[in-house]
Amino acid sequence: MTAATVSGPAVSAASAARRRRRIPYLLLLPGMAWLLLFFFLPLAQLVVTSLEEGSLEAGFNFAWAWDNYGALFTTYRGQFLRSLVFAGIATLLSLLIGYPLAYAIAFRTGRYKPLFLVLLLMPFLVPFLLRTLAWRIILADEGLVVTTLQSIGILGSSGRVLATPMAVVAGLTYNLMPFMVLPIYVALEKMDKALLEASADLYGSPFVSFWKVTWPLSLPGVISGTLLTFIPAAGDYVEVELLGNPQSAMVGNVIESKFLNVIDYPAAAALSVGLMVVVVFLVVFYVRRVGTEELVT
Amino acid sequence: MTSPGSGVPAVELVSLTKEFADFVAVKELDLAIDDGHFFALLGPSGCGKTTTLRMIGGFEEPSSGIVRLHGEDVTGLKPYRRPVNTVFQSYALFPHLTIHENVAFGLRRQKIDPGEVNRRVGEVLELVQLTGRGRQRPRQLSGGQQQRVALARALVNHPRVLLLDEPLGALDLKLRKEMQIELKRIQQEVGITFIHVTHDQEEAMTMADTIAVMHGGTIERMGHPDEIYEDPRTTFVAGFLGASNLMDARVISPEQGKLVLGDGTPVWIEPSRLMNGATTVSVGVRPEKLHLSAPDSPLETPNRVPGTVTDASFTGASTQYLVDTQQIGEVAVTIQNLGDRRFRANDQVTVGWYPEHCFLVT
Ligand SMILES: Nc1ncnc2c1ncn2[C@@H]1O[C@H](COP(=O)(O)OP(=O)(O)O)[C@@H](O)[C@H]1O
Ligand SMILES: [Mg+2]
């Protein structure tokens, strides 16, 4: 009797504590289920497919066909490297143009800040394909850009802009720019402006203040921005299709044609998985490098 | 530059004015601050203290006027070219740097030899009692510790003037009291001129050698804490530095210091305070300078008015009375608890005070 009255509340308290501990996991459940269903299962399917062999007519069979992966570094090495180089250049250009833009919006626009943010996001109101198609017209051979460049002699009389690697990189840069600017803007925006006064007070010239205070504090934004730019750019194929030519094809174009035209699923899957693994490696390496740099002075 | 103690003020402001778009924050302010002093700029919120401090630090450009540091005109110089350092209200510690690197920031910008940097950082961290915290980051420290890092980061540069903008404003009361004593100790130890902005009159009185009371963009009264408390000269300063009872009086005899209240009751004050030749004046006296007695035991004070106690609240060390009088309305009286008789509401009393405790305000 005595034991029961003592242990009763203790037991229910313990089970209540257990229930409370379970709540976070319950809350995670929908997200985990979503990831499992729409990310891990297709990914697993993709990996399995990448190791199959056969043909559309004969059917594809699982065969540990590691050779499929070789194509990324042999037959399609050019396209693969081009993907990384184009994405790298587009990311660098986005950073060079996007950082000052984010800086200006965060520090210099005053009460017009919302207007500039809306302008930055304006392109999203027009579908991606339409915007890129518009660039086809702008960069076309008889278009204003080309004729202007020709008349001031930067471009030869037979020179083109459309259907060149330059147009592809420009398209990538243009389309991904907001993804670079926004995270950097957010990082700069939440920086305490008094820190710059403190730096000036401690004998930091404007240039030194930028390198020692603003830049390191904006690094998280720079990291997010470069990842949000580089990763989609490395897998892109639309820019080449609309603005490039066969000589500027990226690995995304190869994957697209393997999947949709040649119908060689194992090869397409192996190229996709291979690209993904390489990009993940690059990203981890990059985040480590830059991330630790932020921690030292 | 001149050496300390040469008589040249550490900071001199000449007719300093700052106008914002539609508002004059600081109006033709003149001020000279002695070298090595703990100087408090005291005033209510919005009176222009921060703006004044920022013009001394170089963060705000004056609309007109001159800022001199040790005799040198620095009005147009950028902050990083002035021999002053600032402790910011929000501390503004660099979140990405360790405590050591925060403190070393100014020294590194001055290209000081790394060994010397380490020595000086260690020294100043010891001064603010944060030895051993160098490798932590600002967010790992409490508010009081962050405050001391901000102080160390400024002091390590051996500025000739240290500017502090409400440095204790974010701390709770107990910590604030401790830091007041701590700041005063550090100032005496390093001997640097401190200009301390605050809206807390008690804080200013506790710490400062000299207080300037600001009001509406100008300095209304400046002097030693006791001097401006005992003789505030203006209604605003009298009210800002503590409670006071004010009464209007007519001057009868300036030589004797004799005045009369509206109903003819005489009031005596120090004749020296009456020299400005006014015929009607406003007289003030602090609550703790008043005496109370029962009507049957007359006071010796030359100034006396009868009244009725309307409220008595005992606070331990003293009792606060409100006494209603016909001549000067409601009077606040503070009586030290020395074991004398205590009065209750509705008691008839006489309120009395001495001439030397009267001040005149305009
Ligand atoms: N950048 C500014 N633009 C417009 N008005 C300002 C600016 N800075 C301060 N003020 C105004 O100047 C007055 C004095 O401000 P401040 O010096 O910060 O006062 P305090 O520090 O005494 O509270 C305030 O009324 C404030 O609104
Ligand atoms: Mg202020």
Same domain (yes/no): A143, A271 = yes
Same domain (yes/no): A15, A74 = no
Same domain (yes/no): A161, A36 = no
Whether A7 has a pLDDT exceeding 60, the answer reads no
Ligand that lies nearest to the alpha carbon of residue B165, given by its number in the listed order = 2
The angle that helices A165-189 and A128-138 make with each other, rounded to 10 degrees, is 130
Q: Which two tokens stand for residue A284?
A: 């981890």
Whether B299 has a pLDDT exceeding 50, the answer reads yes
pLDDT band at A4 (very low <50, low <70, confident <90, very high): very low
Interior/surface letters A50-82, b for 16+ CB within 10 angstroms, e for the rest: bbbeeeeeeebeeeebeebbebbeeebeebbeb
pLDDT band at B274 (very low <50, low <70, confident <90, very high): confident
Query: B86 and chain A: CB distance < 8 Å anywhere?
Result: yes
Same domain (yes/no): A143, A10 = no
Same domain (yes/no): A174, A225 = yes
Same domain (yes/no): A92, A208 = yes
B residues 35-64 closer than 8 Å to A (CB): 57-59
Structural domains for chain B: 11-236 (3.40.50.300), 243-361 (2.40.50.100)
CATH of the domain at A264: 1.10.3720.10
Query: A294 and chain B: CB distance < 8 Å anywhere?
Result: yes
Give, using CA atoms, the residue closest to atom 2 of ligand 1: B20
Give the pLDDT confidence score for residue A294 in this predicted structure. 52
Interior/surface letters A250-266, b for 16+ CB within 10 angstroms, e for the rest: bbbbbbbebbeeeebbb
Q: Which two tokens stand for residue B42?
A: 């005291």
- pLDDT tens for B45-68 read 999 999 999 999 999 999 999 999
Give the pLDDT confidence score for residue A295 in this predicted structure. 47
The pLDDT > 70 percentage for chain B reads 98
Whether B143 has a pLDDT exceeding 50, the answer reads yes
Residue range of the domain that includes A36? 3-50
Same domain (yes/no): A77, A210 = yes
Same domain (yes/no): A73, A45 = no
Dihedrals phi, psi of B89, to nearest 5 degrees: -60, -40
- pTM for the predicted model, two decimal places: 0.82
Same domain (yes/no): A21, A104 = no
Please report whether residue A110 resides in a domain.
Answer: yes
- pLDDT tens for A180-237 read 999 999 999 999 999 999 999 999 999 999 999 999 999 999 999 999 999 999 999 9
Q: How many domains, chain A?
A: 2
Q: What is the mean pLDDT of residues B262-291?
A: 88
Query: B140 and chain A: CB distance < 8 Å anywhere?
Result: no
Q: CB A195 to CB B59 under 8 A?
A: no
Same domain (yes/no): A248, A176 = yes
Please report whether residue A59 resides in a domain.
Answer: no
Mutation test of ligand 1: which of B45, B50, B55 has the most ligand atoms closer than 8 Å to its C-beta?
B50
What's the distance, Cα to Cα, between the start and end of chain B in Å? 40
Same domain (yes/no): A22, A122 = no
Query: B109 and chain A: CB distance < 8 Å anywhere?
Result: yes
Query: Residue B342 and residue B182: Cα distance in Å, rounded?
Result: 39
Q: CB B79 to CB A200 under 8 A?
A: yes
Please report whether residue A12 resides in a domain.
Answer: yes
Same domain (yes/no): A173, A199 = yes
Q: CB A205 to CB B80 under 8 A?
A: yes
Instruction: Write out chain A residues lying below 8 Å of B80, CB-based.
Output: 200-205
Which atom of ligand 1 is found nearest the CA of B21? Answer: 4
Distance from CA of A208 to the nearest CA of B (A): 8
Question: B48 CA to middle of ligand 1, Å?
Answer: 6
Please report whether residue A61 resides in a domain.
Answer: no
What's the distance, Cα to Cα, between the start and end of chain A in Å? 67
- pLDDT tens for B77-99 read 999 889 999 999 889 999 999 99
A218, closest residue in chain B (CA to CA): B96
Which stretches does DSSP call E strand in A13-155?
52-55, 59-62
Give the pLDDT confidence score for residue B2 in this predicted structure. 43
Query: A193 and chain B: CB distance < 8 Å anywhere?
Result: no
- pLDDT tens for B214-255 read 999 999 999 999 999 999 999 999 999 989 999 999 999 888
Please report whether residue A176 resides in a domain.
Answer: yes
